[in-house]
Structure 1
Amino acid sequence: MVARNLVLLTALTLSAQVGFADGAQQVVRFRAGESSATLSGSVAGYDSKDYRLGARAGQSISVLFKPRNPSCYFNVLPPGSKDVAIFIGSTSGNEFIANLAQTGDYVIRVYLMRNAARRNEKCRFALTVEISPGAARKAPSAAGDALVPGTNFNATTEVPCSRAAGQPSTSCKAGVVRHGNGSADVTVFWPDGGNRVLFFKEGQFAGADTSSADVDTHTSSITENGLYLIRVGAQRFEIPDVLVLGD
């Protein structure tokens, strides 16, 4: 639930209304004396809709998304990013609350998953955005972990990874959302864009997300020297067990 009764933003941040940017991107501005706005819109097929919001480091943001299509989600991209998100709705749900680590323009991107997009489905949605000067009041995860500031992850790191057969390992950024009792979702971000989500249950690798672009989704995992050595098709990952289980 989006927090209420937040302290009002300074006059610099607040504006008179919600307006449009050039092209398909909409700029989110709040009416004078308010710190939240509810927007409605729609996307269809492979189209996406971007909402741009200027904010400062140290503020908190809350986003509540209500889609009418179950294959419709939103991501949050930090300032300067084109494809790498700090929040991925398809794996983390329809609510995002975080403390912001950077000053600049954040982008909330609404889209349909590929299975719905290729059928040219349509999604109508409502998006409530709220921002405040203070820290976000969000309960710890089920594992009792705090969040890495400015993210929805309980921990972030870099892990060895390989995207294609015969490709040498490189370094990928990764973040984990822990659910307790050894269950967690680890999102690995490819250096050239995109990501793969690895699921763990009771301390064991349980599978990975898939898309229609995947040719081979066979998975396997062994544990060696404190690492999960995971294969998803031709892709390879080395995930430290401390990332999944915590300290």
Structure 2
Amino acid sequence: MQRMKQVLWVALMAAGLAGASAFAADRTERVTLGEGTTTLKGHVTGYDSVQYSLTAQPGQQLLIRLATSNPSNYLNVERSGMAEAVCQGALTGNTCSVRAETAADYVVDVFLMRNAARRGEQAEYTLSIEHGSAQPGPSAGAARDAAAKEAAAAAVAACKSALALKSGVNAVFVLPLSHVAAAGGYEVFLSLKGAQWLCTTDPRGNVNRVEQR
């Protein structure tokens, strides 16, 4: 009996280690902006991601570009303290222009989209960050409002496209209350041929589900 318990314990430990290896290996790197352009090279595999953290000064303009070997490799730019990404590379061709209205910490998240990650695909990429001198700009509140509106509009557009693809009908409309923030993403309320639909997105702007209400 004791021998059987030992064998069972070893088997459970091995299964646990195997399961742990399937989790994403997220890596964080701190970036210090110098003069001109900062260039970073790296790679991601499957559900891995690399998160580059940096600090921008008040009024500083950042131009962030991702060149990659895999068309399913994207970047998101997130600002500390905000639930939604201020820029989603999947919607902007992997080029993000960000203006820091106040001193702020940003994270550039480089990852593979879910379909490619599920297949265990890889990507070699070059991330470039151009940064100009700090200039005075509008208030931080106005910047947050603008970023939130941009993220919400992107979520609505993604959901309309997903429902049109699912139904084969392009005449998709949003309800008067078009969206609410939820779980870091959005719930988007749509109408198709008189029926109401609910679409949810995650913090990266991916559509999680589309279902009739």
TM range (shorter): 0.5 to 0.7
Match of 1:28 in 2: 31
User: Conserved in 1, the CA contact under 8 Å of 2:54 and 2:105?
Assistant: yes
Match of 1:86 in 2: 86
Shift of 1:87: 0.2
1:221 aligns with 2:155: no
Q: Percent identity?
A: 28
* Structure 2 letter corresponding to 1:27: R
Match of 1:230 in 2: 190
1:208 aligns with 2:175: no
Q: Equivalent of 2:157, from 198, 223, 226?
A: 198
User: Conserved in 2, the CA contact under 8 Å of 1:99 and 1:149?
Assistant: no
Shift of 1:93: 1.2
Match of 1:66 in 2: 67
Question: Within 2, Cα distance between the matches of 1:87 and 1:29?
Answer: 20
In the superposition, the TM-score normalised over structure 2's length comes to 0.59
The 4+ residue runs of structure 1 with deviation greater than 6 A are none
In the superposition, the TM-score normalised over structure 1's length comes to 0.52
Task: Choose 1 or 2 for highest CA Rg.
Answer: 2
Change (3 A) 1:104 1:125: same
- Counting matched residue pairs gives 156
Q: Which runs of 5+ in 2 are unaligned?
A: 1-25, 179-188, 201-213
* Structure 2 letter corresponding to 1:221: V
Shift of 1:25: 0.8
5 Å-filtered alignment, 1:94-173, equals 94-134=94-134, 150=143, 173=148
Question: Within 2, Cα distance between the matches of 1:222 and 1:94?
Answer: 28
Q: Secondary structure at the match of 2:63?
A: strand
* Structure 1 letter corresponding to 2:54: L
User: Conserved in 1, the CA contact under 8 Å of 2:78 and 2:86?
Assistant: yes
1:186 aligns with 2:171: no
User: Conserved in 1, the CA contact under 8 Å of 2:174 and 2:191?
Assistant: no
* Structure 2 letter corresponding to 1:44: T
Question: Within 2, Cα distance between the matches of 1:44 and 1:119?
Answer: 10
From the two aligned structures, give the one with the greater helix fraction.
2
Change (3 A) 1:235 1:26: same
User: Conserved in 2, the CA contact under 8 Å of 1:98 and 1:150?
Assistant: no
* Structure 2 letter corresponding to 1:84: E
Change (3 A) 1:117 1:222: closer
Q: Which runs of 5+ in 1 are unaligned?
A: 1-22, 137-147, 157-172, 177-184, 188-195, 200-205, 211-215, 238-247
Question: Within 2, Cα distance between the matches of 1:223 and 1:60?
Answer: 34
User: Conserved in 2, the CA contact under 8 Å of 1:79 and 1:102?
Assistant: no
Change (3 A) 1:49 1:209: farther
Question: Within 2, Cα distance between the matches of 1:236 and 1:25?
Answer: 31
* Structure 1 letter corresponding to 2:153: V
1:175 aligns with 2:153: no
Q: Secondary structure at the match of 1:99?
A: strand
Higher relative contact order (CA 8 A, sep 6+): 2
Shift of 1:150: 4.9
Question: Within 2, Cα distance between the matches of 1:24 and 1:208?
Answer: 32
Question: Within 2, Cα distance between the matches of 1:119 and 1:223?
Answer: 34
